[in-house]
Chain A
Amino acid sequence: MSITTYELNHLDQLEAEAIHIFREVASEFERPCLMFSGGKDSILMLHLATKAFWPARLPFPVLHVDTGHNFPEVIAYRDQRIKELEARLVVASVQKSIDEGRVTEEKGPRASRNRLQTTTLLDSIEENKFDALFGGARRDEEKARAKERFYSFRDEFGQWDPKNQRPELWNLYNGRIRQGEHIRVFPISNWTELDVWQYIEREDIEIPSVYFAHKREVFQRDGMLLADSEFVTRSEYEELMTRKVRYRTVGDMSCTGAVESEAENLKQIIEEISSTRITERGATRADDRVSEAAMEDRKKEGYF
């Protein structure tokens, strides 16, 4: 930050914008929560929220929608961060939704719990009476997300209506809702993947080890490298191999692909991201490959 010219560099501007939104929501809503997946974007969100309220603790709980198909490193990271921040963790379990018959597990080798999460999330919103949910979605991730407002209105069914969004003017956010409705709030809307990594490096934010290149048993599926785990069923043609990989996004183990990489530290990751020709979701997410509008369709139903 150069004080003499009163200019903020791009990371400072993005940070200021996000902090403004965290504080605005904490002021205007009764029961906000921060959705946390253990991915880099939600780790960034937790960091920004901490900055927004320092030296006080987070004035809202952290919500993890747990598919049960987690990277163990990510769960360990989550628990440690929550402890350090003295934050309150709410876990909404997809397994529990299955056990209670709210949803049925998909069948077949490509079964994933990705879509089931929506029901678990919406049930948790209702149960906890959350009225604002912070999400780490970024507009550069995907074409439906490119259309999101900072405050994204959801009706009593949790639905997003992309054809009829509230206008959003200047930085004046309309948080007015009726009972049962809620707002999804996206403080890092304007960050790109590269901004996220540059900021993680600048702020020296700790991230789970799966983001750095490491040797792992993987197999090819739909042009992606999936990790072998108890959550996937391999066919006889899907042979295991050992590759040096890292993750660009971290989600459900059954549908998040790894990329081959030599990047073992943040500097190397930033170099890699700067020269990559494939988007992070294109490289690594089976859940977006279902159809052209897979993300839009899931979002309309109430997905993240």
Chain B
Amino acid sequence: MEFLRFATAGSVDDGKSTLIGRLLYDTKSIFQDQLESVEATSKQMGNEHTNLALLTDGLRAEREQGITIDVAYRYFATPKRKFIIADTPGHIQYTRNMVTGASTADLVLVLVDARHGVVEQSRRHAFLASLLRIPHLVVCVNKMDLIDYDEKAFNAVKEEFRNFAMKLEISDLSFVPISALHGDNVVERSAKMPWYEGSSLLHHLEEVHIASDRNLIDARFPVQYVIRPQSEEHHDYRGYAGTVTGGVFKPGDEVVVLPSGFTSTVASIDSYDGPISEAFGPMSVTMRLTSEIDISRGDMICRPNNQPTVSQDLQAMVCWMSESTELTPRMKLALKHTTRSSRVMVSEIQYRIDVNTLHRDEKPESLKLNEIGRVSLRSTQPLFFDNYRRNRNTGSFILMDEVTNATVAAGIIVGSG
């Protein structure tokens, strides 16, 4: 069966956790003991309804404060698909946790409270989803029960969101009016909104086409680990283990290894279960080459006629995630990109984006917590990358603080030099 990974997004209290609870409940994915525990806790907290948000708000602090602090992962399946859900927090303070949940998603659900319309967090999250190039975005206009399931109000939110989204790159955008609390249009189409002609949210999740979202053209194999058995049986074995992050590799393919530039041929693609005739993403395999060349972790195997950019200078959009420090020019940071680690210096901050207006503030002094901007970075070592737009795996990196070791930024490569 095929997986669909999706994440929730949107402002605090717009109903993200309730929606996930509802999806799980109505698809009968909740176990009896989980439900009993949630019912008991709801009663104890004096809730009128069983609070389905408690199905994902699992931490003590989350339950005490009635908010989501960190991503919760939940799983369910229908006969058509398996789903991995990341229920993310809406509060601006926890944006980095939202980005954590969204970074691996195929689809993002942006919740909007029908009474309040598009608010700053809806815009911020839609912007982040487009920056992360999540291919599919579904806007769930929630709490329709509180506005009498009014079509006009739904259309107004839709219009408002569209106007903002026009300035973003979102390849697939759709809208569903729902009530997460009562389940309208979540699993089944609701009789209360006969004017809505689209499908229920679940139906949409089951049908959305994701197979073509991967890159099967640019063959990329970042070497992760060198397998040298040192045993008698496999005395001369030398395999390059890693995950295919783009394109397709086959035995007999002519390849080039970066940074050395040596060329060779794929002798075999090995796995515990036997030889593999074609390796593609996200398979984890072991490659052997016909010639003995010096290859180590952080090197990249690709095709001679289709190579990534090799450069020490990057242009990137970064989302800054540190509470205690700011990103400033000349700052030095640790970087991880594919299987390669390096140090970088911030050469320049070109602009910061105002998430409300998408206006660019040129040459800001710094990027603070949750701010997004475009920067130039200089790496101590060459990196082998593609534009993120072309390949999410070879176009992304993280930055870490060299003293605290915290992960302080998510980076998206937009160019070199």
A residues touching B (Cβ–Cβ < 8 Å)? 3, 5-10, 12-13, 15-17, 19-20, 23-24, 26-27, 50-57, 139-140, 142-144, 146-147, 149, 162-163, 165-174, 176-178, 189-190, 192, 276-279, 282-283, 292-293, 296-297
Contacts and interface: CB of A to CB of B under 8 A. Distances in A.
A3 B59 contact: no
Contacts of A51: 271-273
Contacts of A53: 227, 241
Contact of A163 (B31, B70, B75, B405): B70
Q: Which 10 A-B pairs have the closest CB atoms?
A: A143-B58, A282-B33, A176-B405, A19-B284, A56-B229, A51-B272, A54-B272, A167-B96, A23-B225, A16-B284
A149 B270 CA distance: 29
Nearest to A276: B31
Contacts of A15: 284
A172 B33 contact: no
A190 B75 contact: yes
Given A51-B271, A146-B74, A23 B242 contact: yes
B224 A50 contact: no
Interface residues on B, range: 35 or more
Interface of B: 1-3, 31-34, 37, 41, 55-56, 58-61, 63, 69-75, 82, 84, 96-97, 99-100, 103-104, 211, 214, 216, 224-225, 227-231, 233-234, 237, 241-243, 248, 270-273, 277-278, 280, 282-284, 286, 297, 321, 334, 336-337, 339, 392-393, 396-398, 400, 405-407, 410
A34 to B, nearest CB: 16
B272 A147 contact: no
Contacts of B55: 143
Contacts of A283: 33
Given A6-B216, A27-B225, A167-B99, A172 B2 contact: no
B32 A277 contact: yes
A51 B285 CA distance: 10
B231 A176 contact: no
Contact of B2 (A7, A278, A279): A7
Nearest to A139: B73
Contacts, number: 183
A6 B73 CA distance: 26
Contact of B70 (A6, A8, A147): A147
A119 to B, nearest CB: 22
Given A8-B283, A17-B282, A171-B243, 18 more contacts: A3-B277, A6-B278, A16-B284, A20-B284, A23-B242, A24-B225, A51-B271, A54-B271, A57-B231, A142-B58, A143-B59, A143-B72, A167-B97, A168-B103, A169-B396, A176-B400, A178-B405, A277-B31
B10 to A, nearest CB: 19
B321 to A, nearest CB: 5
Contacts of A6: 214, 216, 248, 278, 280
B31 A292 contact: no
A293 B75 contact: no
A167 B237 contact: no
Given A277-B32, A282-B34, A172 B336 contact: yes
B398 A169 contact: yes
Contact of B59 (A5, A10, A162, A176): A162
